[in-house]
């Protein structure tokens, strides 16, 4: 018989949740909650670190401004030195900030009659690790009566404040308000007559009353653009996110890169490869600093934890043979215009010694540097690491920093060709407007006004041009004479050349150059050139080298000869910065070396035949000279065992030099 009771299902078929499943679900939920908490903690930790760093920068900047104000209390140089005694890590102070407790200390070092002041602010982050930033500046004594030498009564300030017309922003952009992308990770926002730069939703910088009517006819911000390169051979462990760009006074600098589609992204979103050059020689990012018209000041770098003595920032042009373009080591780039004041008759106000009284002046509204309508180079920095005593800009070449493979296409270092050095003069087209009845300016700046000289000296003489060479047509003489210019190694614009008058075997003109003495005499060169007619004029001595010039120097005469000449120049490639070109001589003519022995230029004697024959002899500091293919010459240049034999040479010629460790490396 069948059992009439209903059958029970087996345990494997039972419905519902068992205890083990409940425990597993609780464990998974706990792990998720812990991960979420960790993520939230990391988020707040990053936010707190950023806020602490911003607060530390404000504390350091405020202290530097306080110390600048002390300068007005000094009536003499001795009092100035007493106000700023040389000391290390003094004036210790503890500051209870909003985001952390900060310790502040100062270091003052002597630099001639200057004082270099560094303020360091440190704090502990959430993990107990010490973080820090360091800002520095240079102070110099200015006699309280200096303003009286202007000999002009005035009721207003001499020049506007260097801060410019921008103000630090406040608040955020309202939800749904229209903004326009700047293509660098920031946006532009117009509210009524105000125009603002926006980062995220935060208003970071504002031009008040920039628009004549709401949203129309608005004045633009000043923009300074460039790139920051990190030399991975010496600074491989430095993260680009730890390098910040900052401009003085009211400003905002953004950091960004361009992705594979050409869209700009902030570097916070970058992967390691996004910020690498093609072969990985450099990590780099772009920056744009926004400022207001009328601003003049500095744009420089900050590194998380402070800039160490071995951290070296290279600026300048490693390709140019002009001394004033050569690389320098400096952590900031200075932007200044220089104007002089006029008296009621319109004449320039001068000191008792007859020198112009120059004053720093700012940049015009809406100017973008580099000028987008030109091929001017962006304003780049190259961060490297060198020994503490490597302070000369030539180390940026000799130690390879600016001439890595990724910096070279045709010429070593041409990635940075025409990159500006640490002072940018605003006089040639970038000055803010001013009353021309009260002020005037030259097209060039005589010196860097952030490092004013102690004295001005004048070097003068006569340029004598011999035109007896019958191979040059008389019709060309006038054109050659009008192209002649004289410059000092400090840069163009410091020399005046009178008109040429006929006399003797040719033509003569007098010249006078301003040279500036920083307390130890002026050391430099005076160069005579004929732009556009370089192959028609030879001058001797050129350059005229002078040392320890501590007073006016007269009768520094230069003899020039019109004729037919050829020029031979080249760059040096080397695997080792200690192996460079030491000398180069020519069998007829003169030669000069570029900075660090990594370039040269020679001009031949005049030739009456159709071309020049001769030789160049190269000597090295070390290593061996290897044949270099691809010389660009009008005739033949054969390099063998350190001697280049030239045949049928005319015009401009390029012969690059390759140095290797030994002969076995010549074929590499």
Q: What is the pLDDT of residues 602-643, one digit of tens each?
A: 999 998 778 999 999 999 998 999 876 667 788 888 888 899
Do residue 259 and residue 332 come from a single domain?
yes
* Residue 215 within any structural domain of the chain: no
Cross-strand partners of 425: 336
d(C-alpha 448, C-alpha 422), whole Å: 9
- CA separation for the pair 522, 68 (Å, rounded): 29
Is residue 146 situated within a structural domain? no
Same domain, 557 and 574: no
The pair of structure tokens assigned to 504 is 């003797």
**Residue 558 sits in the same domain as residue 576:** no
pTM of the model: 0.69
CATH number at residue 35: 2.20.25.110
Residue 10 pLDDT exceeds 70: no
CA distances, 648 to each of 569, 607, 651, 652 (Å): 16, 11, 10, 12
273 and 329 in a single domain? The answer is: yes
Q: Quick one: which of 299, 308, 303 has its CA closest to 378?
A: 299
Residues 49 and 102 in one domain: yes
Q: How many structural domains compose the chain? A: 4
Do 409 and 511 lie in one domain? The reply is: no
Q: Give 70-99 pLDDT, tens digit per residue.
A: 665 666 777 778 778 888 777 788 887 777
Give yes or no: residues 407 and 478 share one domain. Answer: no
* Within a domain: 295: yes
Q: What is the pLDDT of residue 47?
A: 52
Beta-sheet strand order (sheet of 612-620) = 581-586, 612-620, 643-649, 636-640
Q: Given this model, what pLDDT does residue 35 score? A: 58
Q: What is the mean pLDDT of residues 142-152?
A: 41
Q: Are residues 232 and 353 in the same domain?
A: yes
Query: For 22-38, b where at least 16 C-beta lie within 10 A, e where not — what string?
Result: eeeeeeeeeeeeeeeee
Question: Of 562, 578, 598, which residue sits at a domain end?
Answer: 562
Q: Which two tokens stand for residue 258?
A: 């361009």
Convert 429-453 to b/e letters by CB count within 10 Å (16 or more is b).
ebbbebeeebbbbbeebbbbbbeeb
The answer to whether 543 touches 592, Cβ cutoff 8 Å, is yes
Q: Quote the CA–CA distance of 363 and 295 in Å, as a whole number.
A: 6
Query: Would you say residue 235 has pLDDT above 90?
Result: yes
Mean pLDDT of the chain: 84
368 domain-assigned: yes
pLDDT of residue 31: 63
Beta strands 222-231 and 187-191: pairing type? unpaired
Same-domain status, 544 and 432: no
Domain end, chosen from 440, 475, 493, is at: 440
**Residue 239 domain-assigned (yes or no):** yes
CB contact at 8 A, 95 and 104? yes
Average pLDDT over residues 10-32: 60
Q: What sign results for the dihedral spanned by CA atoms 371, 373, 374, 379?
A: positive
How does pLDDT run across 462-503, given as a tens digit for each residue? Answer: 999 999 887 777 778 999 999 999 999 888 888 999 999 998
242 and 93 in a common domain: no
Judge whether 235 and 284 are in contact, CB under 8 Å. Answer: no
What pLDDT is recorded for position 357? Answer: 82
With respect to residue 483, please indicate whether it lies within any of the assigned structural domains. yes
What is residue 8's predicted lDDT score, i.e. its pLDDT? 36
Residue 447 lies in a domain: no
- Report if residue 185 sits inside a domain: no
Q: In 3-state terms, what secondary structure has residue 274?
A: helix
* Range of the structural domain that residue 124 is part of: 25-140
What is the predicted pLDDT for the residue at 41?
A: 54
Examine the fold and report which residue of 533, 562, 591 is the final residue of a domain before the chain moves on.
Answer: 562
pLDDT confidence tier of residue 158, bands split at 50, 70 and 90: very low
305 DSSP 8-state letter: T
Q: Are residues 253 and 277 in the same domain?
A: yes
317 and 435 in a single domain? The answer is: yes
Is 661 within 8 Å of 577 (Cβ atoms)? no
What are 163-213's pLDDT values in tens digits? 899 999 999 999 999 999 999 999 999 998 899 999 999 999 999 989 876
Q: Output the pLDDT for position 330.
A: 93
């Amino acid at each position: 018989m069948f059992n009439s009771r209903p059958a029970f299902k087996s345990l494997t078929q039972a419905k519902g949740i068992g205890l083990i499943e409940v425990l597993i679900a609780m464990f998974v939920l706990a792990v998720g909650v812990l991960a979420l908490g960790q993520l939230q903690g990391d988020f707040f930790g990053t936010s707190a670190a950023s806020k602490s760093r911003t607060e530390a920068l404000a504390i350091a900047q405020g202290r530097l401004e306080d110390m600048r104000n002390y300068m007005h209390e000094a009536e003499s140089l001795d009092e100035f030195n007493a106000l700023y005694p040389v000391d290390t890590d003094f004036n210790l102070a503890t500051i209870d900030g909003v985001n952390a407790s900060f310790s502040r200390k100062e270091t003052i070092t002597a630099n001639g009659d200057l004082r270099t002041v560094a303020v360091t602010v440190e704090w502990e982050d959430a993990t107990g690790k010490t973080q820090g930033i360091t800002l520095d500046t240079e102070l110099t004594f200015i006699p309280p009566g200096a303003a009286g030498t202007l000999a002009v009564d005035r009721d207003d300030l001499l020049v506007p404040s260097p801060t410019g017309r921008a103000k630090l922003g406040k608040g955020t952009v309202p939800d749904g308000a229209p903004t326009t992308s700047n293509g660098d990770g920031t946006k532009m926002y117009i509210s009524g007559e105000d125009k603002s730069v926006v980062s995220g939703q935060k208003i970071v910088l504002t031009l008040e009353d920039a628009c004549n009517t709401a949203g129309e006819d608005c004045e633009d911000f000043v923009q300074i653009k460039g790139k920051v390169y990190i030399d991975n051979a010496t600074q491989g462990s430095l993260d680009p996110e730890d390098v910040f760009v900052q401009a003085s006074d009211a400003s905002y600098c953004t950091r960004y890169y361009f992705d594979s589609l050409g869209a700009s992204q902030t570097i916070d979103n970058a992967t390691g490869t996004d910020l690498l050059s093609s072969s990985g020689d450099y990590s780099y990012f772009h920056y744009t600093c926004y400022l207001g018209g009328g601003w003049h000041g500095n744009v420089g770098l900050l590194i998380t934890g402070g800039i160490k003595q071995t951290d070296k920032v290279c600026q300048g042009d490693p390709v140019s043979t002009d001394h004033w373009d050569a690389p320098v080591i400096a952590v900031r780039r200075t932007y200044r215009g220089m104007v002089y004041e006029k008296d009621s008759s319109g004449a320039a106000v001068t000191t008792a010694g007859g020198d112009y009284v120059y004053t720093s002046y700012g940049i015009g509204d809406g100017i973008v540097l580099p000028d987008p309508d030109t091929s001017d180079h962006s304003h780049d920095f190259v961060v490297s690491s060198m020994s503490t005593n490597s302070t000369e800009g030539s180390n940026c070449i000799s130690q390879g920093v600016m001439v890595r493979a990724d910096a070279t296409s045709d010429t070593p270092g041409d990635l940075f060709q025409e990159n500006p050095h640490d002072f940018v003069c605003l006089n040639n087209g970038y000055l803010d407007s001013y009353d021309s009845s009260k002020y005037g300016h030259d097209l060039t700046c005589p010196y860097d006004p952030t490092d004013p000289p102690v004295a001005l000296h004048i070097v003068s003489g006569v340029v004598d041009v011999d035109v007896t060479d019958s191979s040059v047509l008389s019709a060309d003489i006038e054109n050659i004479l009008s192209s002649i210019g004289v410059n000092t190694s400090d840069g163009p614009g410091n020399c005046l050349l009178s008109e040429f008058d006929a006399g003797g075997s040719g033509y003569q003109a007098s010249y006078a150059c301003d040279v500036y003495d920083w307390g130890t005499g002026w050391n430099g060169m005076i160069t005579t050139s004929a732009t556009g007619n370089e192959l028609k004029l030879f001058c001797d001595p050129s350059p005229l080298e002078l040392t320890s010039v501590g007073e006016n120097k007269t009768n520094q005469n230069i003899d020039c000869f019109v004729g037919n000449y050829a020029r031979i120049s080249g760059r040096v490639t080397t695997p080792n910065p200690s192996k460079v070109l030491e000398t180069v001589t020519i069998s007829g003519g003169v030669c000069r070396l570029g900075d660090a022995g990594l370039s040269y230029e020679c001009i031949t004697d005049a030739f009456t035949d159709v071309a020049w024959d001769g030789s160049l002899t190269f000597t090295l500091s070390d290593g061996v000279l290897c044949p270099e293919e691809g010389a660009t010459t009008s005739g033949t240049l054969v390099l063998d065992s350190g001697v280049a034999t030239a045949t049928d040479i005319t015009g401009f010629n390029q012969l690059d030099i390759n140095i290797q460790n030994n002969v076995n490396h010549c074929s590499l």
